[in-house]
């Protein structure tokens, strides 16, 4: 059941997304309401995750991606009016499988603290080691942090 009076959170209009010449998303038009649950259901490979990554501009980090159409968050164009880092602070992502940035192991783990203002290398080193120890993968990765 939808609430027709609910404010629009995301407004997606004529969204097309290409990986090089391959068109992964075709003419998506969607009005996502505030304080409602929206489910994306479809088979593997149909573009659900690609669409979700577009909502917080995670696709910006992939080479060869071209996006046409528009997405507005609270009435503001996410591509022209909202800084991607600010957008990602507001629109988080959770993935079923690990989805690292195209960076080193160290930079992937340090990404969150860095965007929250941590700049001191010794502090980042400590956070990275503690995080990898808590995930029980420090011993496996400690010699490959820059890969």
Same domain, 121 and 79: no
Both 13 and 78 in one domain: the answer is yes
Total tally of structural domains belonging to the chain:
2
Residue 113 is part of which domain span? Answer: 105-141
In the chain, % of residues over pLDDT 70: 92
Report the C-alpha gap between 114 and 116 in whole angstroms. 5
Is there a single domain that holds both residue 86 and residue 118?
no
In-domain check, residue 79: yes
Chain centre to alpha carbon of residue 88: 7
Q: Please determine, for residue 97, whether its predicted confidence score (pLDDT) is greater than 80.
A: no
* Beta-carbon contacts of residue 128 (< 8 Å; ≥ 6 apart): 106, 109, 110, 145
Is the pTM higher than 0.85? no
* Residue carrying the six token digits 């820059």: 146
The CATH number of whichever domain residue 21 belongs to comes to 3.40.50.300
Contacts of 13 (CB under 8 A, 6+ apart): 29, 69, 70, 71
Beta bridge partners of 18: 23, 66
Between CA 132 and CA 77 the distance in angstroms is: 37
pLDDT tens-digit map of 98-146: 666 678 999 989 988 998 899 999 999 999 999 999 999 999 999 999 9
Same structural domain, 36 and 82: yes
């Amino acid at each position: 059941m939808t609430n027709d009076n609910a404010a629009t959170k995301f407004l997606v209009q004529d969204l097309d997304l290409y990986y090089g010449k391959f068109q992964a998303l075709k003419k998506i038009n969607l009005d996502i309401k505030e304080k409602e649950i929206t489910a994306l259901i479809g088979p593997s490979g149909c573009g659900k995750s690609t669409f979700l990554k577009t909502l917080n501009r995670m696709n910006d980090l992939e080479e060869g991606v071209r996006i046409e159409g528009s997405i507005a968050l609270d009435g503001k164009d996410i591509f022209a009016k909202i800084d991607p880092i600010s957008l990602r602070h507001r629109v988080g992502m959770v993935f079923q499988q690990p989805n690292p940035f195209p960076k080193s192991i160290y930079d992937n783990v340090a990404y969150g603290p860095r965007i929250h203002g941590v700049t001191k290398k010794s502090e980042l080193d400590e956070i990275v080691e503690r995080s990898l120890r808590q995930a029980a993968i420090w011993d496996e990765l400690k010699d490959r942090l820059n890969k």
